[in-house]
């Protein structure tokens, strides 16, 4: 589908997507705090798989064209990596809360910038490395490894960010040959198969009210991805990507109002450095483009 390049509509869709994804994070934290993380992610993936198959079936050529790839192993690995990353992220929500987890996770664009050289063969100049260094300082301020007792669980969202960064780089790599529809199809199908193989062993009975939350989690997952697809159809990624940082703001609001989390001054300072470094990196990429 051709891009319409309606930046205002694209920004509105991106902000909408961040609201939906923040709600998804909050629901995930609630459910995974009561039930096994693997089971929660597995049920979420069942709905996600149905969604991607439905999208593929309606695309030109149908399922046969969407599933066709000469990079099958890499596409499956991408799907497995994202499923594992979601499990790590949801586990992080239950251990650290939404604010602390998201504050560290938002460094993933900087990790993508740092790894784009060895993985994609892109040139990483000194300005980008300087921005990455500033972002790393921001993450260290958030984690505070030298202050009193360092919480080792704080490394979990950093692992999640690294996994998501590698997933993003692999997505760019396979895009050299495969369409977005193909990558989207294998992301959902491979992840659903993998999570089913793991999650069925951790099945727990769920009360009726939590099934309603589970249904809402599945709906927000599908809606969030749909909003992102429409967003990137409306406008260039470089124009709307800065607004993805709204995700952290909505998560912080949820964390404070619903889960009684606290917003530490160190987190505010660290996040400011990470976001500034991320926006500078994005600006440099736009100038080079």
- Residue pLDDT, tens place only, 182-202: 999 999 999 999 999 999 999
Output 154 or 105, whichever has higher pLDDT: 105
Closest CA to 7 of 242, 235, 238, 232: 235
Question: What pLDDT does residue 166 have?
Answer: 93
C-alpha 40/C-alpha 198 separation (Å) is 11
Domain assignment of residue 197, yes or no: yes
Residue at 255 is within a domain: yes
Place 10 in a pLDDT band, splitting at 50, 70 and 90.
confident
Range of the domain at 197: 7-288
Residue with tokens 């009561």: 34
Note whether residue 146 is domain-resident.
yes
Question: Residue 86 falls within a domain, yes or no?
Answer: yes
Lowest mean pLDDT among 37-41, 69-73, 75-79, 269-273: 269-273
Q: Is residue 2 part of a domain?
A: no
Is 81's pLDDT higher than 80? yes
Placement of tokens 């992102």 in the chain: 228
Q: What is the mean pLDDT of the chain?
A: 88
- pLDDT band at 281; cut points 50, 70, 90: confident
Residue 15 covered by a domain: yes
Quickly state the pLDDT bin for 47 (edges 50, 70, 90).
very high
The answer to whether 201 touches 193, Cβ cutoff 8 Å, is no
Residue 11's pLDDT band, with cuts at 50, 70 and 90, is confident
Q: Is residue 148 pLDDT above 60, yes or no?
A: no
**Residue 276 resides in a domain:** yes
The tokens for 275 are 């976001």
Number of domains present in the structure of the chain: 1
In this prediction, residue 146 carries a pLDDT of 54
Q: Which of 80, 79, 78, 106 is nearest to 92 (CA)?
A: 106
Mean per-residue pLDDT, 74-101? 95
Q: What per-residue confidence (pLDDT) applies to 200?
A: 97
Residue 1 in any domain: the answer is: no
pLDDT at 46 over 60: yes
Q: What whole-number percentage of the chain has pLDDT above 70?
A: 94
């Amino acid at each position: 589908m051709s891009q319409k390049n309606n930046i205002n509509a694209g920004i509105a869709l991106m902000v909408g997507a961040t609201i939906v994804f923040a709600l998804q994070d909050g629901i995930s934290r609630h459910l995974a705090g009561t039930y096994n993380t693997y089971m929660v992610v597995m049920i979420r993936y069942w709905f996600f798989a149905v969604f991607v198959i439905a999208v593929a079936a309606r695309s030109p050529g149908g399922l046969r064209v969407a599933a066709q790839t000469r990079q099958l192993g890499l596409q499956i690995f991408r799907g497995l990596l994202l499923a594992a990353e979601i499990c790590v992220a949801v586990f992080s929500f239950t251990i650290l809360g939404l604010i602390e987890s998201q504050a560290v996770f938002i460094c993933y664009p900087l990790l993508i910038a740092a790894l784009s050289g060895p993985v994609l063969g892109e040139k990483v100049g000194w300005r980008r490395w300087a921005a990455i260094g500033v972002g790393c300082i921001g993450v260290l301020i958030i984690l505070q490894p030298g202050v009193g007792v360092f919480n080792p669980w704080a490394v979990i969202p950093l692992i999640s960010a690294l996994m998501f960064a590698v997933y993003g780089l692999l997505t760019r790599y396979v895009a050299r040959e495969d369409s977005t529809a193909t990558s989207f199809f294998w992301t959902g199908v491979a992840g659903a198969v993998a999570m089913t193989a793991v999650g069925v062993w951790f099945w727990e009975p769920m009360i009726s009210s939590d099934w309603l939350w589970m249904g809402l989690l599945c709906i927000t997952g599908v809606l969030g991805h749909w909003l992102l697809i429409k967003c990137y159809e409306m406008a260039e990624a470089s124009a709307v990507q800065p607004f993805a940082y709204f995700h952290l703001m909505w998560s912080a609001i949820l964390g404070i109002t619903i889960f009684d989390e606290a917003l530490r001054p160190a987190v505010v300072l660290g996040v400011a450095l990470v976001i500034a470094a991320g926006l500078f990196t994005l600006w440099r990429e736009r100038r080079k483009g």
